[in-house]
Amino acid sequence: LPICYPVAAAVIAGGTLEQHLRALCAKHGITPIPENLNPLNTALYRKAYESDWMKQITAWADIRNNAAHGHHEKVKAELVAPMILGVRTFISSHPA
């Protein structure tokens, strides 16, 4: 999966993941729903998924945050491509 614009791709993938985590919070009755990726991840841990997914989501959140907050030199296309595939896998295996 070639990534021409890794910063934009990371922001979009991270936003997609964040929205899905919000939907999972609603599905699992978590209120109030946290506003950011890392608090969403923490709230869902053990209720919707286990530690392997939590660790992976934390790594994806780091990539997304670097992209969204101007640390573009830390956003590597070779990490964004598997992030996109991983987010797709996560969403399909954890429906909201």
pLDDT for 3 = 86
Residue 1 has pLDDT above 80, yes or no: no
Element (H, E) at 59: helix 51-68
pLDDT digits over 21-56, tens only?
A: 999 999 999 999 999 999 999 999 999 999 999 999
The single residue listed with the structure tokens 């993938």 is 13
The pLDDT-based confidence of 63 (bands split at 50, 70, 90) is very high
* 45 phi/psi in degrees, rounded to 5: -55, 130
**Average confidence (pLDDT) over 80-95:** 98
The answer, as to whether pTM is greater than 0.85, is yes
Percent over 90 (pLDDT), the chain = 97
